[in-house]
Amino acid sequence: MNPLAHLLAPLVLMLPTAFAVEDARVPLPADAGLAVPAAPVSRASNEGLQALADYIHPAPAQQVRIEERITIRIAPRPAPMPIMPSMFAPDFEPQPGMPRYREKKMGKCVPVAGIIGVQPAGGNRLIMMLRDRRTVSAALSKSCQAQAYYSGFLVAKNADGMICQGRDQLLARNGTNCTVTGFRQIVEQGD
């Protein structure tokens, strides 16, 4: 027998049931999920063919959503020289031969790929060391403590690859989640 006939034989056997006009049928429950008509179908109409077509064709697929989320971990790294929180106080007097540092304004964003390490600096400030040898101070929300970030932080990757003030949140390993409120560059103060 022809292999095509093997495939079509079950469909041919179902055709008489699609066009049958017999006694009234018992309606199926609405949640049965079948597309078989609940009432008899007359041969004069095309309802039987439509019912067969509805039964054979699969229902449209449900909506599928695929999301991609990348989280970047910034590890702690000691600074080349220890940075004490008191170094930024206006009345701080360094020992002779020690450089004095000050903060100056900078942009509102820092490239994530440029951060090589982070160190808590007391209060709500983090010190970030960048690949281009800059040191940046990041101010966190007032309710956040920098000591929670002693082991670094996690940040979600954005399309622009930057950490921006007011937009991005830094997640500490202990679960603390804080927003960056500002960045300032730390520079050595010239005499």
Q: Burial, 64: exposed, middle or buried (Cβ in 10 Å; 0-12, 13-18, 19+)?
A: exposed
Average pLDDT, the chain: 76
153 versus 100: the higher-pLDDT residue is 153
Range 106-135 average pLDDT: 88
CA pair distance 140, 171, nearest whole angstrom: 11
CA pair distance 172, 153, nearest whole angstrom: 5
- Asked if the structure places residue 166 within a domain, the reply is yes
What are the two backbone dihedrals, phi and then psi, of residue 72, each rounded to the nearest 5 degrees?
-110, 135
Tokens of 92: 């701080």
**42 and 111 housed in the same domain:** no
pLDDT exceeds cutoff 50 at 47: yes
161 versus 90: the higher-pLDDT residue is 161
- Asked if the structure places residue 64 within a domain, the reply is no
- Asked if the structure places residue 35 within a domain, the reply is yes
Question: Looking at residue 90, what is its pLDDT?
Answer: 57
**77 and 115 housed in the same domain:** yes
**50 and 79 housed in the same domain:** no
**18 and 46 housed in the same domain:** yes
Question: Looking at residue 59, what is its pLDDT?
Answer: 67
**173 and 89 housed in the same domain:** yes
- Asked if the structure places residue 80 within a domain, the reply is yes
Domain that holds residue 121: 71-188
Please report the DSSP string for 100-134 in residue order: -EEEEE--SEEEGGGEEEEEE-STTEEEEEETTS-
Q: How many domains, the chain?
A: 2
* Boundary-marking domain end, from 56, 86, 101: 56
